[in-house]
């Protein structure tokens, strides 16, 4: 069931307002109704840091398994994000995250990520201007993703188109438009074909890729589990690193004193990455269903209530962070929860994002493009509340 607005505080809000800029509304919710039912979403939004961490960690009370799956299930099916516990969740997770552990990243994937970033920046260097969204961050994320999934012969643009098709069709707040679903199913078919080709190549002949790890596991996934989990990896693995790269670049380009500090002390690149994740969380929320009676944020919840932990709001909770709306790479305080609040669903791609963006792409971007700066004649538009980041970033540099 869905929480009744008569049983909990109710807030009427338009998801498209959240798309434009969710942060003022999140601040209001944290202040007045930290656990609030939103009729337009059919869910309760949980917005304070402490409560989001509680929901993230207590999977026995706040289950990832929902009895009425959302529209994304029609395209993707059940993924490891739909399960809890040792048998259901962790068995699938172990197959997927083995290639993305820190040692595997250092020994195999960092050279791949470095080569991908260098190739794109070499192509851009002589131009003197570009849109970092379209010309660097998006294709870089797609190239890195294709590499560690194990796709061969799949272009960055193909992967970008598949990701958009699947996410648009699975978006919980979009109209049920026939064209959206047609593109979504076509994207799914493309992913399935590429996954089958990769699986056939690595079966019995392992390589460092994610698909190889899954296929050559002692208890591999079923074909449908494989397709579903590769699709969900594409959604997060392309959008999140793209958005955090752009957010970090924007934060530095609009705070020249911090950019100067990073240039003087390269160890601050890691802090820049983490602050970008906190400031504009690349994925803003996660969903759960209440499994047993519980009180959260002063509200009594019942089994079956559907809730959303709003990571983006938690990361700007003024009870936890001083001046939370300010980008500050020198910030003190607890870790952000952009990759999860420490529970079993902590983001599989966290270490890969830290390596590919924080260690490699960000320093390379500023080193390779001298005097990189925002184009003063063009705006940087932002959008999104599930995935959020700049929608374009026109820049110039001294070619």
Q: Does pLDDT of 171 surpass 70? A: no
Residue 8, CA distances (Å) to 63, 124, 188, 319 in order: 20, 53, 38, 23
Task: Answer yes or no: is pLDDT of 174 > 70.
Answer: no
Instruction: Using the predicted structure, report yes or no on whether residue 69 has a pLDDT greater than 50.
Output: yes
Whether 5 shows a pLDDT value over 60: the answer reads no
Rounded Cα gap, residues 5 and 26, in angstroms: 19
> Among 92-106, 127-141, 267-281, 362-376, which is the least confidently predicted range?
92-106
pLDDT score at 383: 94
Distance CA(304)–CA(288), nearest Å, equals 10
Q: Where are the alpha helices (DSSP H) in 105-209?
A: 110-124, 132, 138-149, 156-170, 178-202
The per-residue pLDDT for range 344-375, each reduced to its tens digit, is 667 778 889 999 999 999 999 999 999 999 99
Rounded Cα distance between 397 and 368, Å, is 10
The residue with greater pLDDT, 127 or 93, is 127
CA 363 to chain centre: 21
**Residue 310 pLDDT > 90:** yes
Going by C-alpha positions, the residue among 273, 211, 241, 216 that lies closest to residue 113 is: 241
Average pLDDT, stretch 288-299? 94
**Six token digits for residue 257:** 């004193």
The rounded mean pLDDT for the chain is 90
Residue 343 — pLDDT band, cuts 50, 70, 90?
low
Report residue 306: phi and psi, to 5°.
-100, 130
Sequence spans of domains, the chain: 15-396
- Which positions ≥6 away from 185 have C-beta within 8 Å? 75, 169
Of 1.10.3210.10, 1.10.630.10, 3.40.190.10, 1.10.357.10, the CATH number of 15-396 is: 1.10.630.10
> What does the CA dihedral 34, 384, 358, 226 come to, rounded to 10 degrees?
100
Structure tokens at 201: 């190549």
Per DSSP, the residues of 376-389 read: TTS---EE-SSB-E
- Mean pLDDT, residues 9-22: 89
The average pLDDT across 246-251 equals 98
What mean pLDDT comes out for the span 92-104? Answer: 83
pLDDT at 158: 96
How far, in Å, CA of 347 to CA of 341, rounded?
10
3-state secondary structure of 46: strand
pLDDT of residue 170: 72
């Amino acid at each position: 069931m869905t929480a009744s607005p008569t049983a909990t505080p109710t807030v009427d809000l338009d998801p498209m307002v959240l798309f434009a800029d969710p942060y003022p509304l999140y601040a209001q919710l944290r202040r007045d109704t930290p656990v609030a039912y939103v009729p337009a979403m059919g869910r309760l939004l949980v917005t304070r840091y402490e409560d989001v961490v509680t929901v993230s960690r207590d999977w026995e009370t706040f289950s990832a398994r929902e009895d009425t799956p959302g529209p994304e299930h029609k395209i993707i099916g059940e993924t490891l994000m739909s399960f809890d516990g040792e048998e259901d969740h962790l068995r699938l997770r172990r197959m997927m995250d083995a290639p993305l552990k820190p040692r595997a990243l250092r020994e195999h994937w960092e050279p791949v990520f470095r080569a991908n970033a260098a190739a794109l920046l070499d192509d851009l260097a002589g131009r003197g201007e570009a849109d970092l969204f379209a010309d660097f961050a998006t294709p870089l994320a797609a190239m890195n993703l294709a590499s560690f999934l194990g796709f061969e012969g799949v272009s960055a643009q193909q992967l970008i188109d598949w990701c958009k098709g699947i996410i648009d069709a699975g978006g919980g707040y979009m109209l049920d438009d026939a064209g959206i679903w047609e593109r979504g199913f076509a994207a799914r078919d493309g992913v399935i074909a590429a996954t089958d080709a990769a699986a056939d190549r690595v079966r019995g002949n392992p390589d460092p890729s994610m698909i190889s790890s899954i296929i050559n596991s002692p208890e591999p996934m079923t074909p449908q589990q494989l397709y579903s989990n590769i699709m969900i990896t594409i959604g997060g693995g392309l959008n999140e690193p793209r958005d955090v790269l752009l957010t970090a670049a924007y934060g530095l380009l609009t705070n020249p004193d911090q950019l100067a500090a990073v240039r003087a002390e390269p160890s601050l690149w890691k802090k820049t990455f983490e602050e970008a994740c906190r400031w504009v969380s690349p994925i803003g929320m996660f969903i759960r269903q209440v499994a047993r009676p519980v009180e959260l944020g002063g509200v009594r919840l019942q089994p079956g209530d559907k809730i959303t932990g709003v990571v983006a709001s938690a990361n700007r909770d003024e009870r936890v962070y001083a001046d939370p709306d300010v980008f500050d790479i020198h910030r003190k305080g607890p870790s952000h929860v952009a990759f999860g609040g420490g529970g079993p669903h902590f983001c599989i791609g966290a270490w890969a994002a830290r390596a590919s963006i924080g260690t490699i792409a960000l320093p390379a971007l500023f080193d390779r493009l001298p005097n990189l700066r925002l184009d003063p004649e063009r705006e940087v538009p932002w959008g999104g509340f599930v995935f959020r980041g700049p929608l374009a970033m026109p820049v110039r540099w001294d070619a």
